[in-house]
């Protein structure tokens, strides 16, 4: 298989979610990602979520396709070794609290002096500099401080956090693209550099604020309905099911009234124009939800709307997503080989690569067990199997 | 200034938000992005949001740093010209409904035959193939069908849509990184390819589902509080203000009780252990919110928590974000030159580049007016000023 990043070597010091997801993407496209993790237990993401035979499946997804080398970063022997390894790596990614890599002797300046062509990417909650840079950062805090939470939820209710670790994932995708851009530049010019990716800035990027910044108009929560269009938003049916609906033209409004078998509403003075529909939004919403509640399964309503060409969709739960014929048709559900320590199943299911490439499709590969590649990797740097074992034994006792 | 993408030429057929944001990122890093848009009015994003002197500021942000060339894609002369332009471009990005570019004679096969090294990226709601590929797609629909909406909001309330056009922005960041990866590969191997980025698959990527896919455990809405940790989540104070709080250890719980000046709570049998706090979560939340409501400004509570080392943050609104000393310290607030048609102000304010590069920082540049670069660009392909004008005149009348 042609792999876009074949021959690219990555030293990966990341832990938790954002950093490992980013380096997992590098592995999907064929980079050799050498995960440096703590001896014995390995890094924290190995404990996340459900475990099979003692291995976290989420951890296995985050660390897909990587090689694991265990090193105790408090041991000067480890640092000396890493400084040799850095010489023939192209990318280094780390997600420690700002300042920690410097203290270890692995900060950007030290590494750049050894390998000026290397792309050094730091992923952190708040960025490498500034008043909050050394504060503990969590996905939840980046969501709160980006303003994203404040614009989610009902107007008369509290802000709403995302149900997923949004900043971790979007931060990972940002770091990936930023690294690729700098890698290409480094290969062409010989100029490596430091990239500072912060979860907070990534989340702020998603929250435009052009209006606020230029005319002082603050965006607030508008609940599940659009500020200016109607009907446009989320509508509830029976049994907790709901749909989204985007009726964006007079023609679609007339068609929608037909679907509801209430053609008279199209000319109803409460709902005839967009202005009228907005002015009578509560009545409009109630009427649509009454109609939706005539269906035991909201998919039936969605099918009618779809047939009439009205932009709409059932609000999918995870089961709907992963049984949907279109999603399945994308070959986005993949079987990932389990880490070798998992004996009860050969593969687990996960989503595939984030984009489809016609000539060089990525591949989600097996994650390593803790220290699985110690000998393979460290022997390249002149260590014998005995020396490697002696180091690991020393750390096991400490 | 060193620009990472200096010398890279992009043909940009995108409109709306996701595609233009992606090509805007290419422009931030120095690519020459030639935006092909419809004569006279230009593309739809020019009408978005607030207008200054008839120019949309959001449109100006989305189209930052690009060059605008107006061509009527229904005119065979335009297609012939574009086929010449494609010969010396490196990247083509489009966001039309799947099938439209093929019909125009600008589909991947046709373009690849002319320039096999070109990276051709399609950004769409549902992807280029599969049962829904030709359905109309909107950010809202991708949010609904990804399952992301279903996991946002209170357990006993409806799903909640994001207050931002989440799939558009995350789709843009995904497309950008995918293009960079394929560009580097094309430059090294001569092998161009087609990239299929879909908003739906991008959003599904953010919604892990490893548990559901492997043990059938469906993630549901858990409101603003964590499933297993307590107190961890969003807590409301006075006047609609709120904070997030992550008390993740016994030590932090004791410290938190001190901050509330209720040290006795640390040993209270309702709250002593994590299990007890979870079992009595409603009482715990009420108690914390009562304390928060003693502050007229919740920032005061946040400062006390911060001083005690308790991970916490005020839930920022847009004003909080853009007046925060840390955010301002990142130099993330930039002055972007306004399009030349804007005479009432020279610059507008917007967020800067999505990551910080130490050697080649990006730059958010002026957006073009409709057709501003017709002569500059089209004269490269052998057209005289008269011929260009004749074409534009012909289209103006049609």
- Per-residue H/E/C for B172-198: HHHHHHHHHHHHHHHHHHCCCEEEEEE
For B152-168, what is each residue's pLDDT tens digit?
Answer: 999 899 999 999 999 99
Record: contact A201-B332, CB cut-off 8 A: yes
**Which among A136, A205, A360 has CB closest to B351?**
A205
Instruction: Please answer yes or no on whether B164 and A358 come within 8 Å at the CB atom.
Output: no
Residue B101 confidence (pLDDT): 98
* CB-nearest partner of A326 from B130, B191, B358: B130
pTM of this structure? 0.97
Cβ of B50 within 8 Å of Cβ of A321? The answer is no
Query: Structure tokens of A106?
Result: 């692995």
Q: Which of B160, B164, B348 sits opposite A160 (nearest CB)?
A: B160
- CA angle B177/A193/A109 to nearest 5° reads 145
Task: Report yes or no: B311 and B246 within 8 Å, Cβ to Cβ.
Answer: yes
Nearest to B383, CA basis, from B93, B80, B112: B80
Nearest to residue A158, comparing CAs of B227, B282, B294, B235?
B235
Calculate how close chain A gets to B206, using CA atoms only, in Å.
6
List the structure tokens of A280: 């009578």
Residue percentage of chain B with pLDDT more than 70: 99
- Nearest-CB residue to A158 (from B58, B175, B224): B224
Tell if the CB–CB gap between B351 and A209 is shorter than 8 Å.
yes
Spans of chain B below 50 pLDDT: none
Contact call for residues A241 and A298 (beta carbons, < 8 A):
yes
Q: Which residues of B touch A173 (CB under 8 A)?
A: 170, 173-174, 177, 205
Active site members of B: 226
* pLDDT one-digit tens code per residue, B59-70: 999 999 999 999
* Six-digit token string for A338: 């389990």
| A163 → closest Cβ in B196, B200, B221 | B221
Residues of A in contact with B222 (CB under 8 A): 163
Query: Is A184's CB within 8 Å of B184's CB?
Result: yes
B36: enclosing H helix or E strand: strand B32-37
What is chain B's mean pLDDT, rounded?
A: 95
3-state secondary structure of B130: coil
- Exposed e or buried b for every residue in B21-40, given b needs 16+ CB within 10 A? bbbbbbbbbbbbbbbbbbbe
Cβ–Cβ of B318/A162 closer than 8 Å? no
Find, in chain B, the residue whose alpha carbon is nearest to that of A192.
B359
Query: With helix as H, strand as E and coil as C, how does chain A read?
Result: CCCCCCCCEEEECCCCCHHHHHHHHHHHCCCEEEEEECCCCCCHHHHCCCEECCEEHHHHHHCCCEEEEECCCCCHHHHHHHHHHHHHCCEEEECCCCCHHHHCCCCHHHHHHHCCCCEEEEEECCCCCCCCCCCCCCHHHHHHHCCCHHHCCCCCCCCCCCCCCHHHHHHHHHHHHHHHHHHHHHHHHCCCEEEEEEHHHHHHHCCCCHHHHHHCCCCCCCCCECCCCCCEEEEECHHHCEEEEECCCHHHHHHHHHHCCCHHHHHCCCCCCHHHHHHCHHHHHHHHHHHHCCCCCHHHHHHHHHHCCCCEEECCCHHHHHHCHHHHHCCCEEEEECCCCCCCCCEEEEECCCCEECCCCCCCCCCCCCCCCHHHHHHHHCCCHHHHHHHHHHHHHC
Cα angle, residue A221 at apex, residues A220 and A223 outer, rounded to 5°:
155
Contact B366, B41 (CB under 8 A): no
Q: CB B195 to CB A143 under 8 A?
A: no
Residue from B143, B330, B337, B361 whose CB has the most chain A CBs within 10 Å, to mutate: B330
pLDDT of B98: 97
Kindly report the nearest CA distance between residue A212 and chain B, in angstroms: 7
Splitting chain A (398 residues) into consecutive groups of 10 residues, what average pLDDT does each group show? 92 97 98 97 91 93 98 96 97 97 98 98 97 91 96 94 96 98 98 98 94 93 88 95 93 95 94 94 96 97 94 96 96 96 96 97 97 97 94 87
d(CA B246, CA A92): 30
Q: How far apart are CA B267 and CA B53, in angstroms?
A: 64
Q: Do B358 and A181 touch (CB under 8 A)?
A: no
End-to-end CA distance of chain B: 43
In angstroms, what CA-CA distances link B121 with A169, A311, B83, B95? 22, 25, 17, 9
Six-digit token string for A320 = 């709907």
Substitution target in B6, B308, B350, B358 with the highest count of A β-carbons within 10 Å is B358
User: What pLDDT score does A1 carry?
Assistant: 59
- Which residues of A are designated catalytic? 226
Chain B: closest CA distance from residue A382 (Å) = 31
Residues 6 or more apart whose Cβ sits within 8 Å of residue A8? A26, A30, A31, A32, A90, A91, A183
The answer to whether the Cβ–Cβ distance between A206 and B169 falls below 8 Å is yes
| Contacting residues of B for A208, CB less than 8 Å apart | 58, 61, 164, 351
- Is A318 close to B209, i.e. CB distance below 8 A? yes
Best of A18, A205, A221, A242 to substitute, by most chain B Cβ atoms within 10 angstroms, is A205
Contact list, A144 vs chain B (CB under 8 Å) = 234, 243-244, 313-316
Structural contact between residues A286 and B189, judged by C-beta atoms closer than 8 angstroms: no
- Residue B189 distance to chain A (closest CA, Å): 10
> Considering CB atoms only, which of A326, A348, A355 is closest to B197?
A355
What residues in B contact A312, CB-CB < 8 Å?
141
Write the residue in B131, B163, B212 that is nearest to A151 by C-beta. B163
Q: How far is A261 from chain B (nearest CA, A)?
A: 23
């Amino acid at each position: 298989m042609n792999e876009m990043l074949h021959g690219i070597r990555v030293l990966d010091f990341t832990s938790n979610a954002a950093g490992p997801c980013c380096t997992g993407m590098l592995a999907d496209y064929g980079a050799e990602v050498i995960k440096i993790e703590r001896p014995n237990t390995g890094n924290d993401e190995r404990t996340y979520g459900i475990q099979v035979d003692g291995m976290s499946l989420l951890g296995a997804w985050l660390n897909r396709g990587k090689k694991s080398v265990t090193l105790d970063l408090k041991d000067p022997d480890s640092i000396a070794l890493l400084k040799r390894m850095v010489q023939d790596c192209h990318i280094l990614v780390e997600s420690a609290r700002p300042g920690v890599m410097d203290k270890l002797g692995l900060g950007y300046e030290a590494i750049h002096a050894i390998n000026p062509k290397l792309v050094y990417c730091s992923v952190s909650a708040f960025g490498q500099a500034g008043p909050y840079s050394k504060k503990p950062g969590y996905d939840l805090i980046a969501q709160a401080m980006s303003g994203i939470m404040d614009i989610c939820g009902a107007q008369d209710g509290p802000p709403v956090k995302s149900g997923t670790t949004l900043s971790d994932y979007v931060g990972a995708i940002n770091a990936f693209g930023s690294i690729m851009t700098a890698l290409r530049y480094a290969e062409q010019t010989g100029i490596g550099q430091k990239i500072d990716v912060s979860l907070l800035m990534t989340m702020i990027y998603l929250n435009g604020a052009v209006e606020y910044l230029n005319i002082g108009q603050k965006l607030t929560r508008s609940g599940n309905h659009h500020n200016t269009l109607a009907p446009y938003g989320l509508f509830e049916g029976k049994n907790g099911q709901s749909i989204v609906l985007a009726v964006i033209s007079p023609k679609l409004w007339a068609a929608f009234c037909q679907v509801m078998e209430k053609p008279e509403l199209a000319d109803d003075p409460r709902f005839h124009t967009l202005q009228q529909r907005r002015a009578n939004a509560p009545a409009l919403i109630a009427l649509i939800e009454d109609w939706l509640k005539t269906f035991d399964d909201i998919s039936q309503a969605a099918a009618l709307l779809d047939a009439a060409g009205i932009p709409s969709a059932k609000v999918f739960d995870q089961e709907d997503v992963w049984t949907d014929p279109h999603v399945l048709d994308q070959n986005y559900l993949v079987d990932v080989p389990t880490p070798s320590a998992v004996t009860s199943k050969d593969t687990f299911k996960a989503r595939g690569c984030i984009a489809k490439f016609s000539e060089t499709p990525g591949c989600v590969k097996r994650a390593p067990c803790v220290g699985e590649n110690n000998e393979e990797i460290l022997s390249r740097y002149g260590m014998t199997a005995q020396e490697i074992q002696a180091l690991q034994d020393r750390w096991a006792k400490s």
